[in-house]
Every structure is written in C-alpha cells, then in structure tokens.
C-alpha cells in the first residue's frame, strides 16, 4: 500500500507528467470565452424554446410568427372609429364628434403630448410657427384661430391627418388623442381672445 502511494507520488513529480498537466489545464483555459456562456447546464434556461416574435417558421400560415389580427376583431383597449377618411367624414366629425369622457381631460398630459408631436410644426401656442415652419421645412401650417375647428375635427385630423399633415393615430392612443384635442381647443381659445 505504502509502496503504491509512493509510486504514484513519484510519477506525479516526473517532469513529463507535470508538463502534460500544465498542457491540459492551459488548453481548457484557452477555451474560456467571457463573451458567451461556456457551459449550458440547462439549455432551456438560456435558449428560448418559444417562437421568436418575427421569426420565420413553417408551422404558421404565411411562414411568419407575427400574424395579422383575425378578421373582424378589435384589439383590447381599442375601439372602432365611425368616421370616414373623407371630407364628408371630416364634416360629420366636426359637427357631431365629442369627447366621450370629457371629465378625464388633463391639460398637462395634453400639453406634454402636444409639445412632443405637434409643436414642431404648429408652435407651442398653435400659431403655426413651429421649428419646421421657421426653417421652411413645411408650408401651409395654419394658426389654429384661422380654422373653424372643433374638438371633434381636431380628433379626426389627428386620426387621419389632413392634406400635408400626416396621421398621428399610431403615436397617440384614443385617450391621448382626446387630451391633445382638448389642449388644441384651449390654445385656439387663447388665440381668438387676443
């Protein structure tokens, strides 16, 4: 027994053994990469087994994971907008459309969204003198008091855009559109009083 142990110790101290131990450790260490996980003990925890949102997979109709909503459905939190993108639709919205939740109007939030999305053209007071107008990047931006607008028509214009003004329906949700519409009417009132 003692003889065996001594023998092993002797072998371990041989230069060739030491060298090979160093080589093995060095080669293992050289595989170490800090930029990615070296071992994945439970790969499912690292690599998602779910489908990637915009990934291409044969199992889906059309080959894409992201699919168009089913026909005749409305996403939660959205509602139908019953006015057409026509002059008649505009006139109807101007005459009949009102904020369904007027009590929820919050001018601070309206101002915040207006300053982000609208003031660049319309100016912070709605005079039609925003940054892009001053720099002649866009023409024909009216002062709000130059138009016979109502809360409903403003909502309609945010929803569909009008002539050279684009739609802001994707940037502002229904509630925010009403906040901004109310704020625009506030600006217009201030302008007409001067």
Q: Which residues bind ligand HEC (CB under 6 A)?
A: 117-118, 120-122, 132, 138, 140-142, 147, 149, 153-154, 157-158, 162-165, 168, 180, 184
Closer residue to ligand HEC (CB): 17 or 173? 173
> Looking at beta carbons only, is 72 or 193 nearer to ligand HEC?
193
To ligand HEC, the closest distance from the beta carbon of 88 in angstroms equals 14
Of the pair 21, 190, the CB lying nearest ligand HEC is at 190
Min CB(49)–ligand HEC separation in Å: 42
Shortest Cβ 35–ligand HEC spacing (Å): 43
Alpha-carbon gap, residue 169 to 177, rounded angstroms? 8
How far apart are alpha carbons 45 and 53 in whole angstroms?
18
Q: What is the dihedral of CA 170, 176, 122, 112, to 10 degrees?
A: -120
**End-to-end CA gap in the chain:** 108
Residue nearer to ligand HEC on the CB measure, 51 or 117? 117
* CA separation for the pair 57, 67 (Å, rounded): 12
Q: Between 40 and 173, whose beta carbon lies closer to ligand HEC?
A: 173
Residues 6+ apart with CB under 8 A from 150: 94, 95, 97, 185
Q: Which is closer to ligand HEC, CB of 105 or CB of 157?
A: 157
CB of 109 to ligand HEC, least distance (A): 13
Write out the H or E segment, with its range, that includes residue 191: helix 174-193
CB of 106 to ligand HEC, least distance (A): 15
Cβ atoms 122, 128 nearer than 8 A: yes
Is the CB of residue 47 less than 8 Å from the CB of residue 36?
no
Q: How far is the CB of 54 from ligand HEC (least distance, A)?
A: 28
């Amino acid at each position: 027994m003692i003889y065996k142990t001594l023998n092993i110790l002797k072998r371990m101290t041989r230069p060739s053994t030491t060298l090979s131990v160093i080589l093995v450790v060095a080669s293992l260490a050289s595989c170490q990469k800090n930029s990615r996980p070296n071992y994945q003990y439970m790969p499912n925890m690292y690599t998602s087994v779910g489908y990637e949102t915009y990934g291409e997979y044969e199992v889906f109709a059309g080959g894409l994971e992201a699919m168009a909503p089913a026909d005749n459905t409305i996403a939660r939190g959205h509602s139908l907008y019953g006015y057409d993108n026509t002059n008649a639709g505009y006139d109807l919205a101007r005459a009949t459309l009102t904020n369904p939740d007027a009590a929820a109007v919050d001018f601070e939030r309206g101002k915040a969204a207006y300053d982000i999305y609208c003031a660049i053209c319309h100016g912070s007071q709605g005079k039609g003198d925003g940054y892009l107008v001053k720099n002649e990047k866009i023409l024909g931006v009216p002062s709000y008091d130059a138009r016979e607008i109502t809360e409903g028509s403003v909502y309609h214009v945010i929803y569909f855009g009008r002539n050279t003004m684009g739609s802001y329906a994707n940037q502002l949700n229904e509630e925010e559109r009403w906040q901004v519409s109310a704020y625009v009417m506030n600006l217009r009132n201030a302008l007409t009083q001067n």
